Chain A
Amino acid sequence: MRSQQNQAGVHDNQVAAHEKSGADEHSHQFMTFTLGAEEYGIDIMVVREIKGWTETTTIPNAPPHVRGVINLRGVVVPIFDLRARFGMGQTEPTKMHVVIIVSNDARTVGLLVDTVSDIISVNQDSIRPVPEMGLPTDDNFLDGLVTSGERMVTLVSLERLFASRTGRLPTIDANSGAAPLETGGGELAQAS
């Protein structure tokens, strides 16, 4: 836990550093995190806090990516396993795993990821669309790709993640078709 907090502290400093350097109006700050070898980015404005993994209370008959709920200072917050959500199997969480608490106006949820790595400023123009890959990942959640130095970062759209309460996707985006949806919520039928 302590090491996580330290990590978070380091990130705070980085945020400060970035703010000082002054991001221009076309650039946007993203917090990046990893799932295995992949790096993902999330709009920093939706991030409320970062905390270490704690045991959750299981929600009966929930889809596999819903890890359960935790008590966040008196508020019941569901934790979504992003790895499972992206169709890459369930995470085996340890104390070293990180939960990113994100919220929009309506809801607060936690995202279980491997580690939090960086904060990057991304120019709006440098965001590339996600190519259609026909992979079993759920590209509905993805906003685009950016290159940061040597790394490629996949940007995750929180708004779409929020689009349904359980983190399941409603059938949106005509171009995505139905196939990717199936993989994301394979065992959804029993949950509803």
Chain B
Amino acid sequence: MSPVASVPSIEDEPAVTSVDDFKKTYFEECAELLDALYAQLTNLAEQRADDETMHAIFRAVHSIKGGGGAFGFDRLVAFAHVFETLLDLMRDGRVAVTPDVIALLQRATDALSDIIDAARTGREIASGFEDELAAALREAAGGAGPGTAQQTPLRPQAEDGGTVPRRYRIRFSPRMEMFQRANEPLLVIRDLKRLGKVTVEADLSRLPELAAMEPEQAYLAWTLEVETTAAKAAVEEVFEFVSDDCELKIEIETDVPVSGPTTASDRPAGRALPQPPGTGSPNGSISKPGARVEGPAAVQSIRVDVDKVDRVVNLVGELVINQSMLMQFGRDLPIDTAPALINGIETLSQNLRELQESIMAMRAQPVKSVFMRMPRLVRELATQLGKEAHLVITGEATEIDKTVIEQLADPLTHLLRNALDHGIESPEERRARGKPPKGTIHLGAEHRSGRIVIEIADDGRGIDRERVLAKAQSRGLVAPGASLTDEEINNLIFLPGFSTADNVSNISGRGVGMDVVKRNVQALGGRVAVESPAGSGSRFILSLPLTLAVLDGMVVAVGKETYIVPLTNIVESLRPKPADIHPVVDRGDVLAIRGAYVPLVYLHRSFAVPDAVTDPCLGIVVIVESEGGKRIGIVVDQLLGQQQVVVKSVEANYDSIDGVGGATILGNGRVALILDIARLRDAQRRSPRSETQAFVSSSPGMQ
């Protein structure tokens, strides 16, 4: 043991922060691995599995376990180990893949996710939380030593081998650069000690003269003898994280009879990939590199701090502003004076646009990361509610800005809860209606004209419009006797304080859900719409911008002010004839356009802008459409041109402004406000009276 005692200084070396960093990375990896795990389990459940599926599942659990061991998350390791044992048997085909087993695996993944979460937050889960599942897993695996993992959490491998102690002789010679990879032989040896009695003999032959010694190089090598009941895989696993950085030779001195279930787990763990013959050869020598779970081929991506990407995004934003400024100067020059300059600016704009798209693509992530959390939610809720539901996910590869993704989880959770609680009927009720007892919820994402559209559709009972209307009237949200269209009634559920659930459950029905959904989605610059054809379920449609950072806008002038209308909202712009403008009592003006009537919003009145064109027939009407298909005509003085703008927050330093979604900086360096069409409409609706009065008092002189 003396050589071990001679290196205590190194033990203190890894600074606390760096360990925390590693932990952070580990948990990030865990999150990814869990996503992969859920994805593969879905494949398995939907019989889309191939040979690789089981391997991938095993690998994910194994990697989680391996990392967890390195940080001493014993509980996590113990559970992952039981899980892994079953998976190992499954990939060997020794345990059949049945729906029951898949359901068990899903529940085990849920539990594993909770345990990881607990380890991450440092929160303790109730003891015995995973016992039942662990027992079920063991039972599925053929009852390999029930209870051992719980009793000896520090040595989860103990159950692998029999009770016969074996002696391993290990030759462990780190490469010189081992320390640079943040590996520490002492920790490995300590880990080994947990398996049993260890005798250490240091090999000092590589140690140079003191003067020639590089303190950051590993000169020592060790011969270790371990007496343990653990399987060889367990011993190899101790070295898993250093195996790339050392010469390692593990030999079994005292051989033991190998029988039954042990063979499966006696193979070198962590080698889920098909192995070249010889790696698992009887003498057990490992000739690595490349046997790590994440082989070199998998490294197609790099981890970059989001802040760093954001900094680039901001810089590109500044460049875009700069470029539009140059563009403006360029336009003012006579074309024949500086054609090369103009050309140069044109090229610059093209390149910039590409640069911007690339950097946005970097921030984009598939919605999968949030979609993958949903099957669990549906599973758990369905059980809780005594309903049966199947979640079908499509378009999970659709990419969207990272910040948008992060904020999608809440609205989606609410909507799925709502679908399960209010939409899907109980199995009996469904049978009575001639529907399959198991309900289907569809969660889909797709790109549609520069936005991402997410749909949550269920085949449940749909919106009971009579009840919704009655409820809204009883709450004073709708005037009694008002006649509303189906669509208007559907939209009542988004009103604050609305709830139709007769029994308030802890799942939904507190009436806080839908208006929060709407607000969350609006905060992302998105819209929610709902469709519910009578009796055939309901469909919620979320439309979100791909990114929060840039948008294509139409620059419009009102008086001395300049505003941006998001291009995605614009249907058309026109200068109407006086005959097409009709005043409607108490509602303001409408514009007749091809047989339809579009209400007009005078921006100069909404925003109290002086010196603006007040007659729409002298200005321009921009017809815009927000989600749900409602159209309004915004009256402005003139259109100044189309431009890509970088969205800046007004709220950061000020407050939210009615009808304004953000701000941007124009080529001349001035700030221009970006209109939020949906909130502009709302603002209108809220004060129709004052609007009309203003109209009445100002219009006679004009018309």
Residues of A within 8 A of B (CB): 55-62, 66, 68-71, 74-78, 107-109, 165-166
Most chain-B Cβ atoms within 10 A of its Cβ — which of A55, A71, A75, A78?
Answer: A71
Set A69, A108, A165: member contacting B663, Cβ < 8 A:
A69
Give me 17 A-to-B residue pairs in the complex whose CB atoms sit less than 8 angstroms apart, sorted by A's number.
A57-B671, A57-B672, A60-B657, A61-B657, A68-B671, A70-B671, A74-B318, A74-B648, A75-B652, A76-B650, A76-B654, A78-B650, A108-B653, A109-B654, A165-B651, A165-B654, A165-B655
Contact of A57 among B321, B606, B673 (CB under 8 A): B673
**Once the chains are docked, how many angstroms separate the CA of A49 from the CA of B657?**
26
Asked if A109 meets B561 with Cβ closer than 8 Å, knowing A61-B607, A76-B671, the reply is no
Identity of the chain A residue whose Cβ is nearest the Cβ of B559 in the assembled complex: A58
CB neighbours (8 Å) of B321 from chain A are 74
Report if B660 contacts A (CB, 8 A).
yes
Number of interface residues of B (CB under 8 A): 29
Instruction: Known pairs A59-B660, A77-B653; list 10 more (Cβ under 8 Å).
Output: A55-B670, A60-B608, A60-B660, A61-B658, A74-B318, A74-B321, A76-B649, A76-B650, A108-B653, A109-B654
User: Could you tell me the distance in whole angstroms from the C-beta of B217 to the nearest C-beta in chain A?
Assistant: 46
Residues of chain B lying within 8 A (CB to CB) of residue A166: 654-655
Closest Cβ–Cβ distance, residue A163 to chain B (whole Å): 13
- With A74-B321, A74-B665, A76-B663 in contact, do A61 and B653 touch (Cβ < 8 Å)? no
Q: Does B314 touch A at the CB level, under 8 Å?
A: yes
A58 proximity list for chain B (CB < 8 A): 561, 609
CA gap between A56 and B562 in the complex, in Å = 12
- In the bound complex, CA of A109 to CA of B671 (Å): 15
Chain A nearest CB, measured from B604 CB (Å): 10
Q: How far is the CA of A181 from the CA of B457 in the complex (A)?
A: 50
In the complex, which residues of chain A have a beta carbon less than 8 angstroms from the beta carbon of B665? 71, 74, 76
Indicate if the CB atoms of B653 and A57 lie closer than 8 Å. no
**What sequence of 0s and 1s flags, for each residue 559-574 of chain B, a beta carbon within 8 Å of any chain A beta carbon?**
0011000000000000
Chain A CB within 8 A of B659 CB: yes
B430 to chain A, nearest CB (A): 48
| List of B residues within 8 angstroms of A59 by Cβ | 650, 654, 657, 660, 673
B545 within 8 A of A: no
On whether the beta carbons of B606 and A78 are closer than 8 Å, the reply is no
Task: Please give me the residue from chain A that is nearest to B654 by CB atom.
Answer: A78
Query: How many angstroms between the C-alpha atoms of A78 and B665 in the bound complex?
Result: 14
Q: Which residue of B lies closest to A80 (CB)?
A: B654
| Alpha-carbon separation in the docked complex, A75 to B314 (Å) | 11
- From the candidates B314, B609, B651, B658, name the one contacting A74 in the complex (CB within 8 A): B314
Chain A residues with CB under 8 Å of B648's CB are 74-76
Task: Give 6 nearest A-B pairs by CB, closest first.
Answer: A60-B607, A165-B655, A57-B671, A78-B654, A71-B665, A76-B663
B669 interfacial by beta-carbon distance below 8 Å: yes
The reply on B66 being an interface residue by CB < 8 A is: no
> Which listed residue, A55, A62, A68, A76, touches B653 by the CB 8 Å rule?
A76
B666 to chain A, nearest CB (A): 9
Q: Does B553 reach chain A (CB closer than 8 Å)? A: no
- A71-B659 in contact (CB<8A): no
How many whole Å from B686's CB to the nearest CB in chain A?
11
Output the least CB separation between B35 and chain A (Å).
Answer: 35
* Contact of B608 with A61 in the complex, beta carbons under 8 Å: yes
Across-interface contacts of A74 in B (CB, < 8 A): 314, 317-318, 321, 648, 665
Residue of B609, B652, B672 touching A60 (CB-CB under 8 A): B609
Task: Give the chain B neighbours of A108 by CB distance below 8 A.
Answer: 653
Residues of A with C-beta under 8 A to B606:
60
Give complex CA distance A188, B506 in Å. Answer: 40
| Given A58-B561, A61-B608, A74-B665, CB of A69 within 8 Å of CB of B671 | yes
Q: Mark B627-671, 1 if CB is under 8 A from A, else 0.
A: 000000000000000000000111111110111100101000111
Q: By the criterion CB–CB under 8 Å, are A76 and B658 in contact?
A: no
A55 CA to B671 CA in the complex, in Å?
A: 10
Contacts of A109 in B (CB 8 A): 653-654
Task: Decide if B669 touches A71 in the complex (CB within 8 Å).
Answer: yes
In Å, the complex CA distance between A62 and B607 comes to 9
Q: Which residues of A contact B655 (CB under 8 A)?
A: 165-166
Q: Which of B537-572 contact A (CB under 8 A)?
A: 561-562
In the assembled complex, the Cα of A18 lies from the Cα of B445 at a distance in Å of: 62
Q: How far is the CA of A107 from the CA of B606 in the complex (A)?
A: 28
CB-CB < 8 A to A56: which residues of B? 671
Chain B residues numbered 314-354 whose CB sits less than 8 Å from any CB in chain A: 314, 317-318, 321
Which B residues lie within 8 Å of A71 (CB)?
Answer: 665, 669-671
B653 / chain A contacts, CB cutoff of 8 Å: 75-78, 107-109
In Å, the complex CA distance between A107 and B608 comes to: 27
The minimal Cβ–Cβ distance linking B149 to chain A, given in whole angstroms, is: 49
Question: Nearest Cβ in chain B — how far from A43, in angstroms?
Answer: 19
Q: Which residues in A have their C-beta under 8 angstroms from that of B659?
A: 60
Cα separation A13 to B650 with both chains bound (whole Å): 34
- CB-CB under 8 A from B651, the residues of chain A are 165
Smallest CB–CB gap between B607 and chain A, Å? 3
CB nearest to B650 among chain A residues: A76
- List of B residues within 8 angstroms of A55 by Cβ: 670
Closest chain A residue, CB of each to CB of B671: A57
Which of A55, A74, A107, A108 gathers most chain B CB within 10 Å? A74
How does the 8 Å CB contact mask read for B672-685 relative to A, with 1 for contact and 0 for none?
11000000000000
B649 neighbours in A (Cβ, 8 Å): 76
CB distance from B687 to the nearest CB of A (A): 9
The CA of A62 and the CA of B650, in the complex, are separated in Å by: 13
CB-CB under 8 A from B652, the residues of chain A are 75-76, 107
Q: Closest CB-CB distance, A79 to chain B, in whole Å?
A: 10
Within 8 A of A (CB), among B586-612: 606-609
Residue from B651, B654, B663, B669 with most neighbouring chain A CB atoms (10 Å)? B654
Mark contacts of B261-285 with chain A using CB atoms, 8 A cut-off: 1 yes-contact digit, 0 otherwise: 0000000000000000000000000
Beta-carbon nearest neighbor of B658 in chain A: A61
Q: Bound state CA distance, A60 and B601, in angstroms? A: 15
Q: CA A70 – CA B670 in complex, angstroms?
A: 7
B111 CB to nearest A CB, Å: 41
State in angstroms the CA–CA spacing of A61 and B657 once bound together.
8
Q: How far is the CA of A75 from the CA of B317 in the complex (A)?
A: 11
Q: Whole-angstrom distance from the CB of A125 to the nearest CB of chain B?
A: 35
Complex contacts, A69 vs chain B, CB 8 Å = 650, 654, 663, 671
CB distance from B544 to the nearest CB of A (A): 23
